[in-house]
Amino acid sequence: MFTRLLFLLMVLPVMCPAQKVVGDSLLATERSIDRPLTLHARQLRLTGGYVVSIVSRRFDEQGDVFSLRDVGSSSIKHRFKVDIKYGVNDFVQVTTGIAGTEQVVRGRTEYIFPQQDDPVVSHQIINKYSGLEDLFVGLDLRAPLKTRKFDVALGLGAYLPVATSEAQRPNHSYSLAERDGEPMQKFIYRYYYPQGQGVPVAQVGALIKYRMKAMAFSGRVDYQHGLEDATPVEWKHQFDAEDGFEYRKTTYTYRLPDSFSYFFEAEFQPRRWLDLFLNVSGHTAYRGWVSLDGDLKVAVPYQTIAICSPGAEILVTPRLWVRERLDIAVAGKNYDAPIAFETTVMYNLFPF
Amino acid sequence: MKRWLLFLLIGPCFHIFGQEVPDSMAMRKEQTIVTEPATLYKGILRIALGTELRFLNKRFVDGKKQPIDENIWGSNIVSFVSAGYGVTERLMLKIVVPYVRADYYQTPLYLFPTNTNQQYSYPQRWKTQARGIGDVDLSAGYQIIQENKSRPAIVASVSATLPTGRKDVTDDGDDVDHTYDLPTGQGAFAFETALMIRKISYPYTCSATVFYIYQSEANKVTGLGEASANVQNGQTLGASASLNVQLSNWVAFANNLDLLRSGGQTKDGAPAGGAGWLLQYLPGLSFQLKKLRIDQGMMIALKGNNMDADPAYHLLLQYSF
């Protein structure tokens, strides 16, 4: 099987007639809407992106939106991503990508007034979600259709658990502070959450593109499934007035929810250098569970989100493209509803 | 033969990129952030509409980015209109009129014991806001030395910030002490002097600037129900360096690195706030579509102390007449 695959990977570039037109001339003449679902043979694309999300709303389990500002949990999320794509030939593309996140979410500050004359106690919880996410590797196989209008491809991939998945020890603090001239015992609980899943995740999907004269419609659906149960750690603490905080960690079992992610995009290219698009994307996760104690499994709530993203791609040069979009969460359940600005820079070359 | 070949290969580059002084007015209005001179050409009027979106979420405390205490979260949008005019080939004047829209939220939860060993929960949500014209900037820039092939431009600029924005904290009319209207200005005059050196080496432009901002004292109310006090913000000394790269005829990549240090605030002569410093990086893209320019970028706070640590997003539309 492997030999056959190797044979296909090596022979197809030679057989492919598109190889006669290569390199920059191909990129210079190709409109955005005409791009195939996979890269051209020997085309390398380096992509770097940055997303800043304003997380000030959330969808509850009924799908109603509520303000996180009202409960003191608004936050800013930063996400960086890098991926490399390579067209083995006109029908086979390999991808690898990795992303990093930083988000600090605070809980509402609690002020506890004791019955006696003791000082007021304040509690604040700070959750920091940061670090690299797991490494994605993928293979897209495009159908060799002899029509310009349709393009269809199959996407296979996996997230490899290379990123840290074990939570760092918390760093709680206690201090005697002052509030409105009165003494106050101030506790701040700081928890750290890494972004690695700790288990390999398989992905299978389908891509389709339909082209008209000045417009194109494309879509992608992916299904993701965790291949193992994860065993993350949970940190517990106790406070001693003399020794401060003491920590101990326990493990529990976690089944990563299966998930569907999708996007549909309509593109219109009014100018050679400008491509406008409207993207609708979403993510649904279900069937996950957490087991803290033996056989007792507690279901992870069903989560879904739909995002509408208008944006534009600017073809700065035939090789360099800048893509910008605004992400607006329009519907969901048990999910943050951010507004996000996303900037992606893509650089294309034919190195070999 | 080799020399001729070299000339043929290199010559057109100088021919194309050596347009340091465009002949026609139309070409002058279409220069990019890389190719334009350090001040506006004579007779060009540039009108701009801009906005800066900033969040109040984290601050640099003890040299580290820390969430702001008391669970305060907010957004601050400053939109502005500006007009710049090239009086001569060396002198330009500029005015900036800002509009401030800021919202800050604080959401504590009070827990009181009851007689039944239970707690009475009393959640609060306080919102303070600012709406209105901010402090207007007037500035002038003068090219002491105009740039040519062998020497960079040196520009001196001065600007004055006028206390046109509302300076006092005012009651918003409800009964809650923690909700009020914030000021949209500082209530003080500020004067800035800057000296910049700038060189175009197509497709790059690099510059270095040092600046100093002096802030006068203002008599204003800083807390609801408080008496007015004489407040003086700290003086600021800073430096910045920029490197802009022309990516295509109409797109440029801008990079700016700022380092600034602000002195502590005083209130009625007594220290009221510590000094701070900040190192920030501003990457951005500039699109030059004929006479229209669209600039956008993100200000990223890298290091600092006693300063806001959140990113700020900039968008600027400019048109040259």
Distance from the Cα of residue B60 to its chain's centroid: 19
CB contact under 8 A, B71 and A108: yes
Closest CA to A190 of A128, A241, A142: A128
Q: What is the pLDDT of residues A38-95, one digit of tens each?
A: 999 999 999 999 999 999 899 999 999 999 888 888 888 999 999 999 999 999 999 9
Closest CA to B305 of B58, B60, B59, B57: B60
Q: Is the Cβ–Cβ distance between A272 and A314 less than 8 Å? A: no
CB A284 within 8 A of CB A303: yes
Q: Which residues of A touch B55 (CB under 8 A)?
A: 54, 76
Q: Do A69 and B125 touch (CB under 8 A)?
A: yes
- Specify whether domain B34-320 bears CATH 3.20.20.150: no
Q: How confident is the model at residue A303 (pLDDT cuts 50, 70, 90)?
A: very high
Q: How far is A115 from chain B (nearest CA, A)?
A: 6
pLDDT category, B305, cuts 50, 70, 90? Answer: very high
Give me the numbers of helices (H) and strands (E) for chain B, helices first please. 2, 23
Q: Which residues does A contribute to its contact with B (CB < 8 Å)? A: 50, 52, 54, 56, 69-72, 74-76, 78, 104, 106-115, 124, 126, 314, 316-317, 320, 322, 341
Residue position matching structure tokens 């930063």: A78
Query: Which of B109, B115, B246, B289 should we substitute to test contact with A (largest number of A Cβ atoms within 10 Å)?
Result: B109
In one letter, which amino acid is A302? Y
User: Per-residue pLDDT for B177 more than 80?
Assistant: no
Residues of B near A (Cβ–Cβ under 8 Å) read 55, 57-58, 67, 69-71, 73, 75, 105-113, 119, 123, 125, 247-248, 251, 285, 287, 298, 310-311, 313
At A3 the pLDDT is 47
- Over residues A235-282, the pLDDT tens digits come to 999 988 788 899 999 888 889 999 999 999 999 999 888 899 999 999
Q: How confident is the model at residue A11 (pLDDT cuts 50, 70, 90)?
A: very low
Length in residues, chain A = 352
Residue B1 has pLDDT above 70, yes or no: no
- Of residues B288, B168, B308, B137, the one with CA closest to residue B231: B168
Select from 2.40.160.40, 1.10.10.60, 3.40.1390.10, 3.20.20.140 the CATH code of A2-349. Answer: 2.40.160.40
CB of A329 closer than 8 Å to CB of A58: no
In DSSP terms, which residues pair with A155 in a beta bridge? A140, A205
Model confidence over A269-299: pLDDT tens digits? Answer: 998 888 999 999 999 999 899 887 767 888 8
| Among the listed residues B193, B299, B272, the one whose alpha carbon sits nearest the alpha carbon of residue A50 | B299
* 3-state class (DSSP) for residue A19: helix
Tell me the chain A residues in contact with residue B109 when contact means C-beta distances shorter than 8 Å. 72, 108-111
The single-letter code of the amino acid at B115 is N
> Could you give the CA distance from residue B241 to residue B74 in angstroms, rounded to a whole number?
30
Distance from CA of B216 to the nearest CA of A (A): 30
**Domain parsing of chain A, residue ranges:** 2-349
Domain ranges of chain B: 34-320
Query: Is residue A12 very low, low, confident or very high in pLDDT (cuts 50, 70, 90)?
Result: very low
